[in-house]
Structure formats: structure tokens, C-alpha cells
Amino acid sequence: MATIVDIKEEKALEVKNFEFTYAGADEPNIKKLTMPIAKHNITALIGPSGCGKTTLLRSFNRMHDLYPANRYSGEIIFKDRNILTKNEDLIKLRTQIGMIFQKPTAFPMSIFDNVAYGLRLQGVKNKTELQGRVKKALQDAAIWQEVKDRLGHDANGLSGGQQQRLCIARAIAVEPEVLLFDEPTSALDPISTAGIEELIVGLKERVSIIIVTHNMQQAARVSDYTGFMYLGELVELGRTEELFVTPKERLTEEYITGKFG
Amino acid sequence: MTHTQKRVITSSIVMALSTLSAVIGIGFLLWILSILIINGVDALSTTIFLEEGAPPGNENGGLKHALIGQLMLVGYASVFGVPLGILAGTYLSEYGLKSKLSEIIRDISDIMMSAPSIVIGAFVYAIVVAPSGQFSGWAGSIALMIIMLPIILRTTDDMLQLVPSTLREAAFALGAPKYKVIIQVVYRGAKAGILTGVLLGVARVAGETAPLLFTSFNDNFLNTDMSQPMASLTVTMYNYATSPYEDWQKLGWAAAFILSMFILTLNVLGRLFLLKRKGK
């Protein structure tokens, strides 16, 4: 059984006995996983490739439902309800739980329209309100200074790091309660990576954050809690400073000391 | 002779042969185009655009009826064929993707693309012209639409599939419903490619004669009633060029020139859009 540290904060999400099997697979990719996620904290998910960390991340906003025949069971509790039920309103859920992807995903439209996209989906039409909220989101994503003079330009003209910050601006513009980051810096250079990490840490006052990363230093730098996953199971969830210094499980220790991975 | 020398010689022979073949191919194209341009430009005059068909020997004959007929035939075929093709392509790429039905539709469209167009003309003759008892503009447009459909459908399908799935996921992750993801994000990403498919599809049918012979037939005078036989540049060209009268043959050259320039322009525009897309 997994070693799970007692979380004192309020919980943003609670995974209970979650099992997930991809379409066509015989073996589940995630096995009976139970894990609490602390509110207004950063939880990092680490583990070797194929351990199920990205699969778990994409379960929080039901991304798997975009593809047919994936099977899952168990519960993920968010705001006192199980979001895995059939009658969950996915459109509303995804405005409350936002996501940033591995590769920047700027839409083929202007910088302004990119950030305004989620707001417009929610029916914000008032021009002044749109402009205000787009500006605020770009400021919060630390990219306003770089783009304020060219909001009408095609977003694909921005650099990779800028596009990723634009995507963060787009995600926080709709004021979600949880943000999911799926290896957000693996396609970026070290300077852009540092910028994004700083940004993520700054965001936790307003949103609860879960970040999947292949980079253990990154997990150690940004997160408050770290979960180590292996072969579809949560091996250990602990305070980051404790997990990396005094892991309770032998597997965790072997992984963070580089004995496998 | 060493091994290297042998390879150099083989390489030179192959290169010479392929260059020669290319020159022969392009040579014929230039030959056709130059004769077309010399005779076509010579036959051009303002009368051609202003006057309808006239009996042989009458200096005032023009192609107005054929030009307008052509535009109407191709126009109506496009009005119905383009949206249908784009929507069907959207189904394949966004909804059906790997289902059995989509695979079957893809295979059938590929076969339809290479079907001789005269077969499609005969088909429309059987289902539209024969039951209604007369040739009509509608029958011509339907035949052209059937030829256009698989081209637009397959290009749309291909172009939409080139849009990275992460872009779709990003839109879904912001809480967008599927139809908005398709219209606002996927279409935008594939805009240039779809437009190219549409232009190439229209250009392809604009040059068709065979399917029109059985369907819209011909009319030597201006007719804008789609339920009646209708003139087209291609059929007019065929009739005039094979006639024994010199002034009709001249009009045939003019029709050939105008049509070729129209199709060339559509093709060049199509390629330009594609280049612009790739250049990004």
C-alpha cells in the first residue's frame, strides 16, 4: 500500500479507488489509485514513462472522454461531487479545471482572440470587459509587456516560451479553480522554463495546481507535495522537501537516486 | 572499368533519360499552350463577350451564351457541391475518423475521383434527364457536382487531419463544445488547405465536356433557365471546333483560350494558397 502523507489543508480534489483502462488494452493503466490533492498548493506527479501520471492528469478534466471506448471506475471528488459520473457537465467542469499542454497550443488566431477564446465561450461579449480581463490574464501570465503592442498579431508568431505563457494566460482568463500542467516546459529552453516555473509558483495563491513532470529537479523546485507513481500505482505522496530527502518507500528512494527510471 | 566509373556512367544515363522525358512532356504542353494562345488571342474581340451564337457566316457571333451558361453550370454545381464536400470531409475527419463507414466512404471517393467523367454523365442522364424527358442546366450541374464532390471531400478530410490533435484538446480543455472546436479552431487551422481543395475541385469540373453532352446538352442562344438545355464553353467549343465553318472554328479557339485561362488562374491560386500554408 502506498504511503500517503496526512494533508492538513483543505482538499481540492480527491481520487478514490480510481482505475483506468485505455481502449483495446487488457491491463489497466491506473490501478485502484487513491490520492488527495491539497487546495492552493502545487502537487507534482513524477515517475518513469508509462507509469500513468499523464493518464491520471487527463482524468481530472475528463480529456479521455474525447476518445471512444476508454474505461474507468472509482471516484474523483471535486466540490463535493464525483466528476466521473455520466451526467457530469463536461463543458462546465473544463472551465473549472483548466489544462496546459506539453507543446504550446496557440490557436491560429490573434493573441487577443486566443486569450479571449475561453471568455467568449462563457458568453462574455462586452468589449470593455473582454479587454480588461484579457489584459489582466496576460499580466498575470507575465507576458503583457511583450505583447501589449501587438495584440492583433497572429499568436503563432510568438516564440515557444511566449506561446506557453499565452496558453497559461488563456487558461487563467476564465478563472479556473484547478490548473493541470502536463510537462509544460519539456519543449522549452532553460530560460523560458525558469519563467514558466516562476509563474506556476505565483499562481498557487489563486488556483490549486497539479503538474506532471519528467524533471525531478523541477518537481523539487516548484511543488509543495510530490506523488511518485510506478506501474499505474501511487507509491508515495509526501511533502516535497520530505519525499526528496527522506522517502518512506524503497521504490521512491531508488527512483529519486537514479537507480531506475 | 572500375566500380565507381560504372556508377557515374549509370547515373549520367538515368539523368539524361529523365531530363529528356521531362523536356518532351513540357515541350508538348508549351506547344499546346502556344497554339492555343496564338489562335485564341487572335480570335478574341469584344463581340465575343457581348453577342450570342449566330448562324455560320454571320460576323457578329459571340460566346455570351456559353460564358453565362458555363458560369451558371459551374456556379450551381459549386453552391451545392462545395458545402456538401466540406461537411462530408468534416464528418470523416472529426466524427468518423477510423470507423468502418469512414474507411468505406474514403475508398469509394478515391474510386469516384478516377471514374471516367462520361460515366457520370450517363448516370445523370439515366436518373435525371430520362425521367424528366429533357436535357437541362440542372442535370449538367448535378453531373459536375458529383465529379467535384470526392475531390473536395478528400482534400478537406486530409487537411483537417493535419491539424494537430493537441489543438483540438486545448479548445476542449477550455470548455468548448465540439461544433465550436471544429468551426473556430480546426477550420481556421486548415483554412488554406480547404480553400485549395475547393479551387482545384472547381477547376477540375470547369473543364469537363463529356458529362455535359448527356445532361445540359447545348443551346446556341442565351438561356438562364436551369430547367432548359444550356450552353457551356466546353460543349460549344466541341461543336464549333468540329464544324466546317471558319468563323465558328475561330469562336471555338476563343472559347478554348478563355476556359484555359480561367482554369489556369484557379490552379495557380490553389497552389499559391497551399504554398502560403506551407511557408508558415
Three-state SS for chain A is CCEECCCCCCEEEEEEEEEEECCCCCCCCEEEEEEEEECCCEEEEECCCCCCHHHHHHHHCCHHHHCCCCEEEEEEEECCEECCCCCCCHHHHHHHEEEECCCCCCCCCEHHHHHHHHHHHCCCCCHHHHHHHHHHHHHHCCCHHHHCCCCCCEHHHCCHHHHHHHHHHHHHHCCCCEEEEECCCCCCCHHHHHHHHHHHHHHCCCCEEEEECCCHHHHHHHCCEEEEEECCEEEEEEEHHHHHHCCCCHHHHHHHCCCCC
In a domain, residue A158? The reply is no
In a domain, residue A212? The reply is yes
Contacts of A95 in chain B (CB under 8 A): 174-175
Q: What is the pLDDT of residue A1?
A: 63
Under 8 Å CB pairs connecting chains A and B tally to: 66
Q: What is the pLDDT of residue A106?
A: 94
In a domain, residue A127? The reply is no
Nearest neighbour of A105 by CB, restricted to B170, B191, B280: B170
Nearest neighbour of A101 by CB, restricted to B170, B177, B180: B170
CATH number at residue A90: 3.40.50.300
Segments of chain B with pLDDT less than 50 = 280
Contact residues of B toward A, CB < 8 A: 164, 166-177, 180, 184-185, 188-189, 191, 280
Total structural domains in chain A?
1
Range of the domain at A23: 3-105+178-256
Three-state SS for chain B is CCHHHHHHHHHHHHHHHHHHHHHHHHHHHHHHHHHHHHHHHHHCCHHHHHCCCCCCCCCCCCCHHHHHHHHHHHHHHHHHHHHHHHHHHHHHHHHHCCCHHHHHHHHHHHHHHHCCHHHHHHHHHHHHHHHHCCCCHHHHHHHHHHHHHHHHHHHHHHHHHHCCHHHHHHHHHCCCCHHHHHHHHHHHHCHHHHHHHHHHHHHHHHCCCHHHHCCCCCCCCCCCCCCCCCCCHHHHHHHHHCCCCHHHHHHHHHHHHHHHHHHHHHHHHHHHHHHHHHHC
| pLDDT above 70 as % of chain A | 99
pLDDT at position A101 over 80:
yes
In a domain, residue A26? The reply is yes
pLDDT at position A67 over 50:
yes
Would you say A53 and A232 are in contact if contact means Cβ atoms under 8 Å apart?
A: no
Length of chain B: 280
Question: pLDDT of B123-134, one tens digit each?
Answer: 999 999 999 999
Q: What is the pLDDT of residue A261?
A: 67
pLDDT averaged over every residue in chain A: 93
Question: pLDDT of A193-227, one tens digit each?
Answer: 998 999 999 999 999 999 999 999 999 999 999 99
Q: pTM of the full predicted structure?
A: 0.84
Contacts of B166 in chain A (CB under 8 A): 101-103, 105
pLDDT at position A259 over 90:
no
In a domain, residue A163? The reply is no
Rounded to the nearest angstrom, the minimum Cα separation between A126 and chain B is 19
Nearest neighbour of A101 by CB, restricted to B166, B185, B188: B166
Residues B239-258: b if buried by 16+ CB within 10 A, e if exposed? bbeeeeeebbbbbbbbbbbb
Rounded to the nearest angstrom, the minimum Cα separation between B166 and chain A is 7
Rounded to the nearest angstrom, the minimum Cα separation between B99 and chain A is 11
Rounded to the nearest angstrom, the minimum Cα separation between A137 and chain B is 14
In a domain, residue A148? The reply is no
Question: pLDDT of B188-210, one tens digit each?
Answer: 999 888 998 999 899 999 999 99
Contacts of A118 in chain B (CB under 8 A): 174-175
Residue type, A170: R
Class of domain B50-279 (CATH, top level)? mainly alpha
Q: Do A107 and B167 touch (CB under 8 A)?
A: yes
Q: What is the pLDDT of residue B278?
A: 56
Question: pLDDT of B96-121, one tens digit each?
Answer: 878 899 999 999 999 999 999 999 99
In a domain, residue A78? The reply is yes
Each domain of chain B, given as residue ranges in start order, spans: 3-43, 50-279
In a domain, residue A88? The reply is yes
Q: Do B170 and A156 touch (CB under 8 A)?
A: no
Q: Do A121 and B188 touch (CB under 8 A)?
A: no
pLDDT at position A29 over 80:
yes
Q: What is the pLDDT of residue B280?
A: 45
Q: Do A118 and B175 touch (CB under 8 A)?
A: yes
